[in-house]
A and B are shown apart, each in its own frame.
Chain A
Amino acid sequence: MKLHRILFAFALATSLSAAAVQTASAEDAPPRQKWSFAGPFGIYNQAQLQRGFQIYKEVCSTCHSIKLLAFRNLADPGGPDFTEAQAKTIAESFQVTAGPNDQGQMFQRPGTLADRFPPPFPNDQAARAALGGKLPPDMSVLAKARAHEGGFPQFVIDAFTMYQEGGPDYIHGIITGYTDPPAGETLPPGGQYNRYFPGGAIGMPKPLSDGQVKYTDGTPETVDQYGRDIAAFLMWAAEPTLNARKQIGFQVLIFLIVLSGLLYFSKKKFWRDIAH
């Protein structure tokens, strides 16, 4: 009785609200991929993060900074799981600006584990000047800063399925979404068409093609695979504590369920002889 009235009222309001539902966004929804780190027990795949790092280093880092990531993070548990020696070698392959020295001069030195990834351009203006006026976004938290809005009722379903991978799906979409513009679509000068980019016209030229990055572990060298690997790496860069979070979360949930069960039976016992 009560439920059906609530449903009635809810239906009334939503039908009123939804009277004019139209999806406003012109771009397509990036298709949802399967991710190793999705769901309550999902964690990062180390090999995939290493491949993603390879793509970042060989391709993305030409234009995109990842300022919040430190070289030491590469050896952190739950990450790409490089050994400390490997992370150190990687750090030394980058030149970092340090100083000033005793003469008051800034100087270049090889990176150390404590350094963060140096940006490819000294400042944002230099990046814009070199890249036709467009600033490539920093990639540190990019995977959490992008998503495609699913709208109603998708967002309700997502709360139950724990969908948190909108960012990686979007990044994979962008990598694989370069197509010819639809008929009648005019692009601004220097623009490319990407079916998953808001508005369609993206400043970044198609960054990856089949076979461009050489994998050593036999993984297919396709744009689709590259897209998944770089998206996974960027998700880790944005959320480096995901593995620990899910593990602790499971322990906390078990604890809370047992606690609530005990509290429920205590409550029953206290209230047994009291009509309420």
Chain B
Amino acid sequence: MSGHSTYQPQSPFMQWLERRLPIASLVYSSFIAYPTPRNLNYWWTFGGILAFMLGVQIVTGIVLAMHYTPHVDLAFNSVESIMRDVNYGWLLRYVHATGASFFFFAVYVHIARGMYYGSYKEPREVLWILGVILFLLMVATGFMGYVLPWGQMSFWAATVITNLFSALPGVGEPVVTWLWGGFAVGNPTLNRFYSLHYLLPFVIAGVVVLHIWALHMVGQNNPTGVEPKGEKDTVAFTPYATIKDSFFIGLFCIVFAWFVFYMPNYLMAPDNYIPANPGQTPTHIVPEWYYLPFYAILRAIPSKLLGVTALAASILILAFMPWLDTSKVRSANYRPYYRQFLFIFFAAVIGLGYLGSQEPSGGYVIAARILSVYYFAFFLVILPLLGLFEPTKPLPNSISESVLSKGAAA
């Protein structure tokens, strides 16, 4: 991509450094001069919000790790000791626990924005697939973090989720034993989950670098889905995108603070304040809200193996979107039918989330099945066929044309 300007080191030290390690010019071209489409709306700020949340989670997590004890007999009380005896420990823990929810909320908005504006399409396939990998890493990290307080839900979530691997034909039982490090969820399981929960965020940070690198190769998509055709279609990342991102991070933090300070336990299951008891199954095991749609898909299918397959497929299928969607037009703004089907898809995911939180009986199972069928049909039937038959609206010739016509109409 051609930038608006290039970095010219002024001071002798920066000139000296530039010849040896051009880090300043890398930062300059990536975060200052980097051209960003001028018509980006606020849905594009969620990438920055996600980077911010990753930072929040890593910083609070590192401090929490200094006070936490990964042992089945001590973990629950060490978390309570953080709440009671560590200075501002309650703040660290509530920011971290609520932060996980807000991290997932932001990633769902980010994914939905990509789906709406066709950000997964050529030439952004690798960027999109890296995003799916990031989401998978987040799911794994969030799950293992949820196990660490060693409450009832922690223990039973660990039991239910690791048991899913027992559905693998032939190797199921040995794989589960290997995951547990024993013949039941126990101390080795908690210890390795802690280790991995500390490791994976740094893997996420690494993949985020790749994600941003891929983004800077192909440039950002934009609400029209028409590639920028020159400098008049773009503005410099700083100050234009940075100030916009900062403003929305501020708004996001207001909602975040609302939950952290006024209702920190709203997003947590009360049962997780009961210490883990392997001898007593809770009446109703539910995962955190951000996994509920996938949990509903899992439970909608009576066969365990097929259910687990559907669960994995429901996330992995996202990676194939660039090839399942046959339409040449990116943005749903110019695809009236895709737009309708996509909104129904979003509603189906929310509906599945609700069903995932309810007891799987009677009408709930039937509803979950209908919505699960729609979930997969959206990717496997609607996306491929729609591109072939859908009448699309005429695209603007360029971003600046679309922006100026909008300005004239307003």
Report which A residues bind B (CB closer than 8 A): 5-6, 8-10, 12-14, 16-17, 19-22, 24, 40, 68, 73, 137, 140-142, 144-147, 152, 158-159, 162-164, 166-167, 198, 238, 240-241, 245-246, 248-250, 252-253, 256-257, 259-260, 263-264, 266-267, 270-271, 274-276
Contacts and interface: CB of A to CB of B under 8 A. Distances in A.
B188 interface: no
A148 to B, nearest CB: 10
B101 to A, nearest CB: 12
A275 B404 contact: yes
Given A246-B262, A252-B257, A274 B344 contact: no
6 contacts: A9-B347, A145-B270, A249-B260, A253-B261, A260-B247, A263-B243
B347 A263 contact: no
Nearest to A251: B261
B290 to A, nearest CB: 15
Contacts of A166: 270
Given A13-B348, A68-B80, A144-B270, 20 more contacts: A5-B339, A6-B343, A9-B343, A9-B346, A10-B347, A13-B347, A14-B351, A68-B84, A146-B270, A147-B270, A163-B266, A253-B258, A253-B261, A256-B250, A260-B247, A263-B250, A267-B246, A271-B240, A274-B38, A275-B406
Interface of B: 38-40, 77, 80, 83-84, 90-91, 94, 235, 239-240, 243-244, 246-247, 250-251, 253-254, 257-258, 260-266, 270-271, 273-274, 283, 339-340, 343-344, 346-348, 350-351, 354-355, 359, 361-364, 366-367, 370-371, 400, 403-404, 406-407
Which 7 A-B pairs rank lowest in CB-CB distance, beginning with the nearest? A20-B363, A249-B261, A260-B250, A13-B351, A145-B273, A13-B347, A9-B347
Contact of B362 (A20, A137, A158, A164): A20
B94 to A, nearest CB: 8
Contacts of A167: 270
Contact of B80 (A17, A140, A245, A256): A140
B250 A245 contact: no
Q: Taking chain A's interface residues, is the majority helix, strand, or loop, or is none over half, making it mixed?
A: helix
A266 B243 contact: yes
Nearest to B85: A70
Contacts of A250: 261
Contacts of A163: 263, 266
Contacts of A248: 91, 261
Given A40-B262, A141-B273, A276-B38, A256 B253 contact: yes
Contacts of A240: 84
A12 B347 contact: yes
A8 B129 CA distance: 31
A241 B261 contact: no
A14 B355 CA distance: 10
A6 B342 CA distance: 10
Contacts of A137: 274
Nearest to B39: A276
Nearest to B348: A13
Given A9-B343, A198-B283, A158 B250 contact: no
A255 to B, nearest CB: 9
B240 A274 contact: yes
Contacts of A141: 80, 273
A106 B90 CA distance: 35
A13 B253 contact: no
A275 B270 contact: no
A246 B246 contact: no
Chain A CB within 10 Å — which of B38, B262, B350 has the most? B262
Contact of B263 (A12, A140, A145, A162): A162
A257 B254 contact: yes
A78 B262 CA distance: 16
Given A164-B263, A249-B260, A256-B254, A267 B247 contact: yes
Contacts of B254: 253, 256-257, 260
B270 A159 contact: no
B77 A68 contact: yes
Contact of A245 (B90, B244, B362, B371): B90
A159 B366 contact: no
B80 A13 contact: no
A275 B402 CA distance: 10
Chain B CB within 10 Å — which of A13, A141, A259, A274 has the most? A13
Contacts of B403: 275-276
